[in-house]
Structure 1
């Protein structure tokens, strides 16, 4: 049984190859028959306008002879055009191949027509081959030459179109790879810096408050599990992002005790909106490092999200010392700005400025979108 199936499969492969080989030939023949029919119709009606009588059948037979020559030449011309495409670096090679090739193709077509046209009673030709060929050469050489270059131009057009699509696909792959690299960079930035501070705090708490140290360690394990379990998604829902930030801030609140509090102002209408993964963490970390950590008084961070005219507007504000004279774009903020530019182009906004109530405000706006989140593969 297995031998029979194998034998049938082996017999099927040549059949499929033969069908694939026949398809270009059939398309070529059908295309040139259609051209012959169109030109015959034009000749028939043009003769009628001039007051002459040219039967459509006779005109079709004559044009079919002409089309047959080009049908024989089409596939060789297309193969030659693929092997010797138009390139700036090889301009003279193109000229050296296609100029003689076009002349040879036209002469072949004219010679074939001069010999076969009298057999079908084509108008305007006689029994003398040389007289027919000379007359056709003078009257139709340039139009036939245009046919050759039209075929070559069609191959060049398809080649350029293929190259454009290939560049677009390559560009999309590079964008996806860039997004993945940026996300991995953000994760690697979060883990060493954040781990160092957290583990240092746990080490201090082990002697003073073992229960708090164990609780902080549990929070850290949960947070790292969320980071490591991320499947490479470029986007998550705002609810998932806020849950991650809540875990992050819970650990920071143990570190800073009563000096840190936070509030999330986000309605249920935006909780399913898609946002770049880990987009809020650098903003919150920046508020803690440059706002809360630099002041002795209690600090407060407010995270807000709202929908506005098709945009999702996110903001992280603190009541710290403010920007001062210079606005410094750290690694986290610079990375976030680059990710937003790469993902949304001109359809986003990212600003850092003074909080009206004192401190710093970082805001961003991205298109409001809901549904399945995009992933990096």
Structure 2
């Protein structure tokens, strides 16, 4: 997974081309060649060595492939359901029409047999039921679109004529197909009521077609086509919404893992720098730091795919990190934990406390010549969890606090909290010169697991520097 390449020099603000020449440190602080030369190859933010930024080729290949593979997945419409709905709807319409016509004739004083009315309505209306699924499926499969609307409209017009012919044939097969004025009764178009024999009355079918073609097309065929298009576009819209939601989920996962991948090597580089310095003065202490660093890295790898953890597990990780720092500082570093037991199961982001504690050590305790103290405390109410990290270092001077920028650990922590919680969180930094720095975090108080959106299924690739 590639992180977004910076397009601006962090020193002079000059624009940097994605495939242009630039220099970066291990934390991806990016500078133009002129600024890198003036700084003599050393990053002013972290003191690391500046190296040539590798040129990333085929940067858009993955995006193009994803675009090609992200076609809409239109769910298949169940055929049997269409048939059931068709017969159910037309049966209901036929029954409603039967009741309406029967009451109409009875109110006019010319009552009509209920069963004759029912047969007549079923002959005229229920014969649409076996034709509707075919029209619906064809309309869904071959919809009218901007690029083909002229040709498709002509095809649909021809389909309407075929639909009317099929309806006339089905209606003519029923005993209520046509009114016989001589017999004064409804008869079938394939039955000669006078000779009492089967005979196809082609003129009767022709008459029925021309009498019903307009009503069949405008009153039945076109509404079926419109309903099919409405259902199709609604399903496409829902599929696009689902796809967009999946892409947002994947983006959130990738963004969170990218931020976490920035944090994981952060303390490693600083610890290795401390070990390198101790190798010249205290080899045994450096060896102990290496041993505890391996334990810390093992804990980090075990939770590599985890974005949310409990406060107790996060404190175990922070304690392991502080054990490494205690080898370096000895009696100069004192840790005070004030963690009520009812907050130990609270859900917090993994690697939330470690960068903040590291900042307290690096910018607070390391600047004291006497004993330094770091306090880690927690409390909660019914809805919110409060975490506090405080040191007794020199704090931040007013000018520095106004003009200075957040370091990588603090900046990445802010982004992770914003991604995970939106506006439902706070990260406040309070400093009193000479009295230390205090960081307080407010999070929603939860003791249940977070949604799976933040639990990555596979081990992510290492970020490219």
**Partner of 1:111 in structure 2?**
165
Which of 241, 266, 271 is the aligned partner of 1:164?
A: 241
Task: Confirm whether residue 266 of structure 1 aligns to residue 328 of structure 2.
Answer: no
Structure 1: stretches of 5+ with no match in the other structure: 1-22
Structure 1 distance, partners of 2:213, 2:282, is 100
Structure 2 distance, partners of 1:333, 1:263, is 22
**Partner of 1:29 in structure 2?**
83
TM norm structure 2: 0.67
Q: Which moved more, 1:114-123 or 1:334-343?
A: 114-123
Q: Which moved more, 1:98-107 or 1:229-238?
A: 98-107
**Partner of 1:376 in structure 2?**
456
Shift of 1:266: 0.7
Question: How do 1:3-152 and structure 2 match up within 5 A?
Answer: 24-51=78-105, 53=112, 55-81=117-143, 86=145, 91-93=146-148, 95-122=149-176, 128-144=204-220, 145-152=222-229
**Partner of 2:358 in structure 1?**
285
Structure 1 distance, partners of 2:333, 2:133, is 82
Task: Confirm whether residue 246 of structure 1 aligns to residue 319 of structure 2.
Answer: yes
1:347 match: secondary structure? coil
* Structural RMSD (CA): 2.6
Shift of 1:55: 2.7
TM norm structure 1: 0.82
Shift of 1:263: 0.9
Question: How do 1:204-353 and structure 2 match up within 5 A?
Answer: 204-206=281-283, 210=284, 212-325=285-398, 326=402, 327-353=404-430
Q: Which moved more, 1:354-363 or 1:275-284?
A: 354-363
Shift of 1:40: 0.5
Greater fraction helix: 1
Structure 2 distance, partners of 1:306, 1:236, is 17
Structure 2 distance, partners of 1:98, 1:233, is 53
Q: Cα deviation per residue 1:72-131 (whole Å; 9 max; x = unaligned)?
A: 3232222213xx6x5xxxx242x2244223322322222222333233244777763343
Task: Confirm whether residue 175 of structure 1 aligns to residue 260 of structure 2.
Answer: no
1:68 match: secondary structure? coil
Structure 2 distance, partners of 1:142, 1:274, is 61
Shift of 1:46: 1.5
Shift of 1:292: 2.0
Q: Cα deviation per residue 1:303-325 (whole Å; 9 max; x = unaligned)?
A: 11111232221111122222223
Q: Cα deviation per residue 1:152-196 (whole Å; 9 max; x = unaligned)?
A: 221111121112112212221222222222222211222122222
Report how many residues are paired: 343
**Partner of 1:191 in structure 2?**
268
Structure 1 distance, partners of 2:270, 2:365, is 17
Q: Cα deviation per residue 1:39-77 (whole Å; 9 max; x = unaligned)?
A: 101101211332354532432232221222223323222
Answer whether contact 2:101 2:117 (CA < 8 A) is retained.
no
Change beyond 3 A, Cα 1:346–1:137: same
Answer whether contact 2:417 2:425 (CA < 8 A) is retained.
yes
